[in-house]
Amino acid sequence: MRILLTDPILTRFTAELTRDGTDGHDWEFLAGKPDAEIEERLREADVLVASRMTPGMAEAGGRLRLVHVTGAGYDRIPLDALAPGVTVCNTFHHGRSIAEHVVLAALALSRRVLRADRLLRRGIWESVAVDPDVELGGTLAGRTVGVVGLGEIGAQVVRATTALGMRARATRRNPAAPLPPDLRLDRVAGDDGLADLLTGSDVVVLTVPLSPATRGLIGAEQLRLMRPDALLVNVARGPIVDEDALYEALAQRRIGGAALDVWWSHPKDGGGARGFTRPFHELDTVLLTPHHSGHTRETFTGRAAEIAANLARLSTGEPLTNVVRAPA
């Protein structure tokens, strides 16, 4: 098979990608190449391994058998523009890494680590040991985490936070669907349980995919339901939260803080380096990270190995895993 790889991150994991017999195929590594060059190469390709694909690429890839997305999200793949015979698969392996980031973020905000670090670098020792008026932070144990969405990431967040002694509740599209036996939750509600989750949680974690139904899911009305000391952690997609409403809630101290790993635009899409238009960077109750909560060696090693296994299945005619678009 002729396989094109355009994802710059997965290019680091060629050893894992070419295992399971896929090293005998014709690989072409095109990360960083112009779209026009990729389109030209696609005319003779059987497989595209990529994080993004333009309509022009889809048109050029008329003989493709498989588009394998290098992550969970496939919103940057023009499914409707692909030829009928093309299968699209995705991959995950980022749940544990993101869950650890959620714990890190919640602890950093709860203990005001960002402020303490910044002040101590300036020689200011802010501690109850020297100032009895300094507010004390709190532990996560005994507090409630509310998880909006209970897929792979949401389940891993529940595992990580309950291991620290937190109580967990969640909302999901189908609350009656079976849960893994090791998940410990006080309550699982449907989408109509969001208001109750927001009012009853100390830490709210967003893990739902972006869709027309979830765009703007958290707006001014929902933020008003949160507790004054509650934290919002978004590791899903930026547009799930209304940017203006969130900034106003944080600037006016109506919620305790936010950890934002996803934004309303991305540098790759020409949206600027920051990804936001309001001055979140001026607030000391916000932890800002560049959509890297899942970026660990373990995440990408697992993804590369799974993609390699799917390529081996494709070459032998076996059923593929993680199919998000079957051939017509």
Q: What is the DSSP annotation of 73-100? A: --TTS-GGGS-TT-EEE-----HHHHHH
Structural domains of the chain ordered from first start:
2-93+297-325 (3.40.50.720), 95-288 (3.40.50.720)
Residue 220: phi and psi, rounded to 5, are -60, -40
The conformational region for residue 312 under phi > 0 = left, psi -120 to 50 = alpha, else beta, is alpha
User: By the 8 A CB rule, do 232 and 107 touch?
Assistant: no
Which of 207, 252, 209, 215 has the alpha carbon at shortest distance from 232? 207
Q: How far is CA 2 from CA 25, 218, 228, in A?
A: 6, 44, 56
Which of 96, 73, 52, 50 has the alpha carbon at shortest distance from 236? 73
Q: How far is CA 3 from CA 27, 43, 215, 260, 312, in A?
A: 5, 12, 35, 35, 12
Which tokens go with 4? 């094109």
pLDDT of residue 103: 98
Name the β-bridge partners of 323: 89
pLDDT of residue 31: 96
User: By the 8 A CB rule, do 233 and 174 touch?
Assistant: no
pLDDT of residue 267: 82
pLDDT of residue 270: 66
Query: Residue 316: what residue type?
Result: T
Rounded to two decimals, what is the model's pTM?
Answer: 0.92
pLDDT of residue 30: 97
Helix-helix angle 297-316:95-110, to 10 degrees: 160
Measure CA of the first residue to CA of the last residue in the chain; give whole Å. Answer: 21
Q: What is the pLDDT along the chain (328 residues), one digit of tens a residue?
A: 999 999 999 999 999 998 755 557 899 999 999 999 999 999 999 999 999 999 999 999 999 999 999 999 898 999 999 999 999 999 999 999 999 999 999 999 999 999 999 999 999 999 999 999 999 999 999 999 999 999 999 999 999 999 999 999 999 999 999 999 999 999 999 999 999 999 999 999 999 998 999 999 999 999 999 999 999 999 999 999 999 999 999 999 999 999 999 999 988 776 566 799 999 999 999 999 999 999 999 999 999 999 999 999 999 999 999 999 999 8
